Amino acid sequence: MTEQRGNWTSSAGFILAATGSAIGLGNLWKFPFITWENNGGAFVLVYLVCIAAVGLPIMMAELLIGRKTQKSAVGALKEAVGPAWGLVGLWGVLCGFTLLSYYTVIAGWSLYFFAKTAGWMVGGFPAGTSLGQVFTEQSANGGLQIALSLGFSVATVSVVYFGVQKGIEKIARLFLPVLFLILALLFTVSFAMDGSREALTFIFRPSFNELDGGSVLEALGHAFFTLSLGMGAMITYGSYIARNQSIVKASGVIVLLDTVIALVATVIMFTVIFTAGMQDQVGDTGTVGMLFISLPQLFFAEGIVPGGSFLAPLFYVLVALAALTSTMSLLEVVTSYIIDEHEIERGKATLACGSVVFLFTILAALSFGGADFASNLSAPGRIGNLLFAGKTSWFGMADHFVSNWMLPTGGLAITVAAGWFMTRESTESELVDETVPGWFSYDTWRFFIRYISPAAVAAIVVAVLFFGVDFS
Ligand code: PHE
């Protein structure tokens, strides 16, 4: 099989693809909202520490396991660590599967809001429109939700179908620069707005008395999510890296870009909110509110965002592109497992995986009022009550399970594998070669991957298991 495997055509192609996987709804949807909830400053600082101390070393570990073995998650862990570790890989595949099934639904909303805002750009914003109502109506419309998710799934399948070079890398090379440009444009505009100072202060001035243990764990959990770690996506992408490319350098660039983009997106959103003086209302609309209720409203409100009616559809193009470069990495985890371990040809494997995942996407799509059986799992006798008390929809339950259980446990297993089960020689030979940058110290990496990362991740697992902390 090894000869037939795809490879990235260049280091830049790989870095763009992996950065595309990392940058996604986590950066544009989750991070701004949890920063808001945790009162900015100190939370952002803790998040940055988690990214550097836990995210970066694990990114290197996943990529090295992939490149060393040239296999996708299951095969890679079996070969690098031992046969039983294939189970950890399988856990990752299951996680990719579940995450993809509901991530697609939110991605589908970006299509809807693109169409809506493009319509308002052309035809004018109808006076008195309530964005809260627009949002609730679209999300409760089961048929519409299935259609939007289907559109997005088809896009994802079409990319992965064409493989690593002609599909994933090509799309990443094309779309990521567009994404950076749109973000740069929005960022520039936000500096001309009144609220930008207030936004920057909120995000960057730490006040530690607002921080509690739960916030620290939330920052750590999000570091996994946003960097696509803990479920084998980076192992899989790492398996297509050529020998002469530096894992250390690439990890540095991916982590840096992901972090900068999350901060830039947050600055933009908060600037809009502060300029409009909407800070009191944002919290009420929940996680989805900021991206799909507050922002579209503000783009069209007079005197807030210069050129807002033009920037609004562009903003949802940004969200859609960021989501697509992530969904394709999720589908690749599942598909490459089927290709490698069951020797099924890529085209067939992609269609089969895409279709099975979509069956679960339907459940997630109907979770916002589209169908009672998916929206209301906590009705008497339904599984919501038994499994995850308090989560009332299929969507909420899947997100809860992935963010709280699957990513942290998978991540813990991967750090332990790289730090304790793989030999020093086998990891050192992947990380240290003539391409290694001067700032990197192997011994420091080894110390982090053996002690700091597992301890931090174990803290999340314990918090979830014994103290009921919830990151979803
Ligand atoms: N990193 C992506 C985001 O921030 C989500 C993701 C997680 C993608 C795991 C792939 C694997 O949106």
pLDDT per position as a tens digit, 231-279 = 999 999 999 998 888 999 999 999 999 999 999 999 998 998 888 887 7
- Confirm or reject: Cβ of 19 under 6 Å from ligand 1: no
* Cα-based distances in Å from 38 to 45, 72, 456, 461, 463: 11, 37, 20, 20, 18
What pLDDT is attached to residue 154?
Answer: 98
- Closest atom of ligand 1 to CA, residue 407: 9
Give residue 304's pLDDT band: very low, low, confident or very high (50, 70, 90): confident
Which of 226, 257, 291, 357 best tests ligand 1's pocket when mutated (most atoms within 8 Å of CB)? 226
pLDDT digits (tens, 9 = 90+) for 151-202: 999 999 999 999 999 999 999 999 999 999 999 999 998 888 889 999 999 9
Separation of 10 CA from ligand 1 center, angstroms? 22
Name every residue whose Cβ is closer than 8 Å to that of residue 391 and which is 6 or more positions away in sequence.
Answer: 377, 378, 384, 397, 400, 472
What pLDDT is attached to residue 452?
Answer: 96
What pLDDT is attached to residue 382?
Answer: 57
Name the residue with the closest Cα to ligand 1, atom 11. 228
Give residue 115's pLDDT band: very low, low, confident or very high (50, 70, 90): very high
Q: Compute the distance between CA of residue 288 and CA of residue 281 in angstroms, rounded to an integer.
A: 13
Separation of 272 CA from ligand 1 center, angstroms? 25
Name the residue with the closest Cα to ligand 1, atom 10. 228
Separation of 330 CA from ligand 1 center, angstroms? 8
- Confirm or reject: Cβ of 24 under 6 Å from ligand 1: yes
- Confirm or reject: Cβ of 308 under 6 Å from ligand 1: no
What pLDDT is attached to residue 211?
Answer: 80
What pLDDT is attached to residue 373?
Answer: 73
- Confirm or reject: Cβ of 26 under 6 Å from ligand 1: yes
Give residue 290's pLDDT band: very low, low, confident or very high (50, 70, 90): confident
- Confirm or reject: Cβ of 21 under 6 Å from ligand 1: yes
Burial 61-97 (b: 16+ CB within 10 A, else e): bbbbbbbbbbbbbbbbbbbbbeeebbebbbbbbbbbb
Proportion of the chain above pLDDT 90, given as a percent: 66
Give residue 3's pLDDT band: very low, low, confident or very high (50, 70, 90): very low
- Confirm or reject: Cβ of 145 under 6 Å from ligand 1: no
pLDDT digits (tens, 9 = 90+) for 10-54: 999 999 999 999 999 999 989 998 898 888 889 999 999 999 999
pLDDT digits (tens, 9 = 90+) for 363-411: 999 998 887 777 776 665 555 544 554 567 888 888 888 988 899 899 9
- Confirm or reject: Cβ of 361 under 6 Å from ligand 1: no
Q: SS3 for 403?
A: helix
Q: Compute the distance between CA of residue 243 and CA of residue 43 in angstroms, rounded to an integer.
A: 38
Q: Which letter does DSSP use for residue 433 in this model?
A: S
Q: Which letter does DSSP use for residue 85 in this model?
A: G
Average pLDDT over the chain reads 90
What pLDDT is attached to residue 357?
Answer: 98
- Confirm or reject: Cβ of 228 under 6 Å from ligand 1: yes
Nearest of 299, 277, 306, 281 to residue 191 by alpha carbon: 306
- Confirm or reject: Cβ of 232 under 6 Å from ligand 1: no
What pLDDT is attached to residue 64?
Answer: 97
- Closest atom of ligand 1 to CA, residue 326: 8
Give residue 2's pLDDT band: very low, low, confident or very high (50, 70, 90): very low
What pLDDT is attached to residue 1?
Answer: 42
Q: What's the Rg (C-alpha) of the chain?
A: 21
Does this model's pTM top 0.75? My answer is: yes
